[in-house]
Each structure stands twice: as C-alpha cells, then as structure tokens.
Amino acid sequence: MSEIMLPTYDDVVAAAARIAGQAHRTPVLTSRIADEETGAQLFFKCENLQRMGAFKFRGAYNALAKFDAGQRRAGVVAFSSGNHAQAIALSARLLGMPATIVMPQDAPASKIAATRGYGAQVVTYDRYTEDREQIGRDLAERHGYTLVPPYDHADVIAGQGTAAKELFEEVGPLDAFFVCLGGGGLLSGSALATRALSPQCLLYGVEPEAGNDGQQSFRSGAIVHIDTPRTIADGAQTQHLGQLTFPIIRRDVDDILTVGDAELVEAMRFFASRMKLVAEPTGCLGFAAARAMKDQLKGKRVGVLISGGNVDIDRYAALLAGQGG
Ligand SMILES: *Cc1c(COP(=O)(O)O)cnc(C)c1O
C-alpha cells in the first residue's frame, strides 16, 4: 500500500484549470421549502446540470487532457454502461481522439445510442458470460488504447473533486456535506477539496442500503467486495471501493450512510415538484440522507451534491408514479 501515490488537493486545483471552459461551472441552488423541512440551510451543487448530465465529465476530461501525443493518437478505451461511458465519449470527441466503449449488449438502447452519438465506437459483450475488464484490457493491448477506469484513477478522482471545490468557493465553509458514493471517485475527490477548503466540515458518503460495501469497508478498515446490489440507484451499483479511493475515504471522510430506494424516490419527487430539477435515483442519495438526519442538522449550513440527472424519461415517470424501476 505504501507505494501507492494518492492524489492531493493540488491535483484538484490543476484539474480545475484543465477543465475550465469545457465543464460547466454548475449552479448552487437553495430551496426555502427544503430549509423549512430540515431546519438547516441547504446548498445543492447541481451536477445534474453538468455537460452530459453528470459530474463524470469532470474526471473523464481531466484524465484525457493529460494524455501525451502517442496516447491521443491511439485513443482511449473504457468499460461502462452508464455516465462514465458518455463522459469518456464526449471528452474524447472534444479532444479529437478516438474512443472505444465496452458496454453490455443488454444496456438500454438509449445509452448505447447516446455513446455512439458522441462518436465513440461501442463494443458490446454478454454480461453473464464475458468479463468486461478482460475485454477492455485486451483491446488496450491489441490497439495501444489507454484504459481509463470509472473511479480508481488519480486524474479521475482529481477531476471529480472540482465540483466540491466550486461549491466551497461559492458558499464558504460548511458544517456538513453529503456526497453520493459508488466506487468512491466523487467522494474521495470531494474529500480532498473539503479538507483543504472547509477542514471542520463533517463529510458523509451516502450509498444505497442494498449495496453498503462502502460502509462495511469504512468501518472494518479493509475493502469489502459484494455482489451487484439490487437498487434503483444504478450509478452506485459498484461492488467495491478502489485502491486509491478507499485510503482517501478512510482518512478524510467522517462516516458512510445508507438510504433505501423508497427514500430515493421521495427525494426525486421533491426535486421535481419543489425545485423543478430532474435528478436520477443515484443523484438523490445525498439529499435523502440529509433529510433522514435532519434532527442533527438544525441551524447548520449543509452542502448536498446532486450527482446526475440521466434517467430514461419513461422510467422516471414510472418511478415518480410509484411503479418501481
Ligand atoms: C458514477 C456515479 C456516482 C458514483 O460515483 P463514484 O465516483 O463511482 O463513487 C454517483 N452518481 C452518479 C449520477 C454517477 O454517475
């Protein structure tokens, strides 16, 4: 472990300069109704309004912008069925390099089409019989592509940390901050920014109840692996934290909380009806946890990161109508 080089806040600062003019500086919204309900003063960092609809653009663009000439010529490969795929595809197009995305053949057609729409080549695989990491590595070896993983990569972590950096620069120090947790790229990057800009802030990672590997890992001190959890929070269906994300989270995060799918739907409904915001289920983890903890947040200044807004519109309508996912 000791030879692993963890990214630092300086890397977040460098990432912010690299993505400036490419990523949106997303708005920080407030809501009188949310404040009344919780008794706290809430600041929502709206990464659902980021380019391609999620914070993942930040880390992907930062990683690809650091490629050398040879890496750019050969291009990038990534495996993802979700927001990381689109983030890599869009970043590659903006930087003028080829991208290959490995996606399950039963991924939603809209996601495959969106990824192709950004100009990426999509390679599909059978998720029950084939190993996507192996396919990604084979493609990288055969064609000289550089593999960029969705969270366990120093440049990805640093890029994801720029959203929290913007939040603290805009609203000043906070008492508590709630961040969605999958593999931990967003949380570890946010932790670097939090410890630099608001050191006393209580920082919470929030993951789905059904997939609390992060909480188990945090409390036991070793990375816990689980089977793919059943939850509507599809952006947080990761099976384990990373070799880079875990030590940062263990060092800099105060606790990992969980919320159930029903609470995520309630939060989605709140965002839609009260704030006119479309948030995907995973993007609601932070607010759902803050609501559940409101007795401890009275009179406090609290940050909530809304991580993304990419949800198929029919599925969104069904979830809001209480018809499952
Ligand atoms: C990827 C993703 C997450 C989880 O991010 P990690 O860096 O894997 O922890 C949360 N929300 C959304 C919308 C995502 O796309």
Residue 181 Cα: closest atom of ligand 1: 9
What's the pLDDT at 105? 87
Residue 4 has what pLDDT? 84
Task: Give the per-residue pLDDT at 82.
Answer: 86
Those residues with Cβ within 8 angstroms of residue 187's Cβ, 6 or more apart along the chain or in another chain: 179, 180, 181, 205, 245, 249, 253
The per-residue pLDDT for 73 is 97
Pocket test for ligand 1, best of 228, 282, 285 (most atoms within 8 A of CB): 282
The structure's pTM equals 0.96
* R_g (Cα) of the chain, nearest Å: 18
**306: CA distance to ligand 1 center in Å?**
10
Q: How far is CA 202 from its chain centroid?
A: 19
The verdict on whether 81 is a catalytic residue reads: yes
How wide is the angle at C-alpha 195 spanned by C-alphas 6 and 242, nearest 5°?
35
Active-site choice (80, 91, 198, 307) = 307
Q: Which pair of structure tokens corresponds to residue 98?
A: 């080829």
Ligand 1 centre from 236 Cα, in Å?
A: 6
Q: What is d(CA 222, CA 227) in angstroms, rounded to the nearest whole number?
A: 17
Name 300's Cβ contacts closer than 8 Å, sequence gap at least 6.
Answer: 40, 41, 175, 176
276: left (phi over 0), alpha (psi -120 to 50) or beta: left
Distance 235 CA to ligand 1 centre (A): 5
Which atom of ligand 1 has the smallest separation from the CA of 186? 7
> Could you tell me which residues come within 8 angstroms of residue 215 by beta carbon, excluding any fewer than 6 positions away?
207, 256, 257, 258
8 Å CB contact between 133 and 79:
yes
Helix (H) or strand (E) holding 29: strand 28-29
Closest CA to 132 of 80, 172, 95, 202: 80
Identify the pLDDT of residue 2. 53
Task: State yes or no: is 213 an active-site residue.
Answer: yes
CB 54 less than 6 A from any atom of ligand 1: yes
Cα–Cα distance for residue pair 321/299, rounded to 1 Å: 33
Q: Which of 31, 47, 56, 189 is catalytic?
A: 56
3-state secondary structure of 221: coil
Is 211 catalytic? The answer is: yes
- Specify the pLDDT at position 215: 97
Residues of the chain with pLDDT under 50: 1
